[in-house]
A and B are shown apart, each in its own frame.
Chain A
């Protein structure tokens, strides 16, 4: 089993470009999360989903959109990238509440 995977691993964008980050899981977990990690800031929640077809805003949702069309996939979109979105993005999944969250390997995004 692959667990939680993220695509791509690295990406460099120019200001104003768009992109989509893919999180895929084969753990059959209902809950999925997108976090961003910045130096000295810990991990901050961007958006989350409690099941297929549902999404909700987290602590820092501005500039991002998400979709969960299939249970196993959670997509994070940046419509018009800004340098402030330079960060490492982690996807996580959880079986239930409250419970351990399993993290993907991360995507390092640089916006020039």
Chain B
């Protein structure tokens, strides 16, 4: 089955700096790559996603890049703010009905 590795497990950055979280996956047939944000005690919520026919996607301060050849994708958050503090999960789907395979999460800490 699919294997998703996510790094780092914890990331601490100064407010206003950028944060980058990286994920690698194993199945070259995977074609959908979402990122979820989960605040403490809350449900995961989608913040951005990308499909395999696109190399990069931006939404205000958030961007995702995909390298299908190398089988990795990254989340970029610029101008970080205190409300960005949360756990971020990458996920991968092969397009089948069997759900998403998630990375183990990155705890992002924004230092004031």
- Chain B residues with CB under 8 Å of chain A are 1, 4, 6, 9, 31-32, 34, 42-46, 49, 51, 89, 93-105
Task: List residues of chain B with CB within 8 A of the CB of A45.
Answer: 98-101
Partner of A48, one of B9, B95, B98, B104: B98
Minimum distance in angstroms from B68 CB to a CB of chain A: 15
Segment at the interface with B among A12-20, A63-71, A72-80, A98-106: A98-106
Task: List residues of chain B with CB within 8 A of the CB of A56.
Answer: 97-98
Contact A103/B99 with A40-B104, A98-B31, A98-B32 known, Cβ cut-off 8 Å: no
Task: List residues of chain B with CB within 8 A of the CB of A62.
Answer: none
Determine whether the beta carbon of A97 is less than 8 Å from that of B95: yes
Determine whether the beta carbon of B98 is less than 8 Å from that of A41: no
Contact A33/B104 with A90-B43, A98-B32 known, Cβ cut-off 8 Å: no
